[in-house]
Amino acid sequence: MNRIGIFAKVDRPEAREVVPRLVEWLIARGRQVLLEKETAGLVEQAPSAVRKADLPAQVDLIIVLGGDGTLLSMARLVGELAVPILGVNLGGLGFLTATTQEDLFPALDALFRGEMLVEERMMLAAQVTRGQDRLTGYVALNDVVITKSAMSRIITLAVSVEGQFATGYRADGLIVSTPTGSTAYSLSAGGPIVYPTMDAVVLTPICSHTLTNRPIVLPANLPIEITLLTGEQEVMLTLDGQVGLALEQGDIVEVRQASPRIRLVRDPRRHFFSVLRTKLKWGER
């Protein structure tokens, strides 16, 4: 790993301190450093800078400094390039950005010595069909969510799995989550925690009008179709809580396992269960 890309949440005060130190540290060790353009503004006499969308194609490793949202926005750009991402937490909960600021340089030393793990995580691909038209496709690392606006009444959805009708929902919305996203919005809505390296999909209704509608875990290879039956209401499709599209009555949202997989760098000493105990106080009374 010789070419290192850096992308930071620039409005975090910690980034102004960490990014210049990181650039200096990497250059001192003979690494080529490439900064995302806004991140480059944090460094005097910054090395080369490129647009965020162009960063993954030009580096061997991306260091993301911020929170989980910062990492999610980069993960969707990596796609088929399979560039590993090291997420560094600058505050907040941080399931994906599990490396702390204090651990950053020891973690990089360990990575360059070949002592870190690179985990592969599945992603979701979503496609919206409106009448005869197939709209732009999307990918998501955490979740694909269909939800009503704040002032709308509950919405009605029909869900088919592998071409067969599965169930209908009358609810505030529906979360289709990866195992990585099972500790995000899905967990808040009552969904299960799923081990992050599994290939599975979780369907979690949001405030279902029918109490018998419970979350369900499905094999990742089964295609899912969600049809919006509700009209005259504001309904949104969102990807990782960051990219959105307004849906119309009759729209079909097709969700399936995406072909690209995201590769996340992890300290082998920091197991998923230790993260649960730290972040969620899991198992404490």
Among 52, 58, 59, 94, residue whose Cα is nearest residue 77:
52
Residue pointed to by tokens 């760098």:
265
Active site residue 68: yes
Would you tell me how many other CB atoms lie within 10 Å of the CB of residue 188? 11
Would you tell me how many other CB atoms lie within 10 Å of the CB of residue 278? 14
- Structure tokens given for 206: 């949001």
Long-range contacts of 219-223 (CB under 8 A, 24+ apart): 220/122, 220/257, 221/257, 222/161, 222/162, 223/161, 223/162, 223/163, 223/254, 223/255, 223/256
Catalytic residue among 11, 54, 60, 68: 68
The rounded Cα 275 to chain-centroid distance in angstroms is 17
Residues carrying an active site annotation = 68
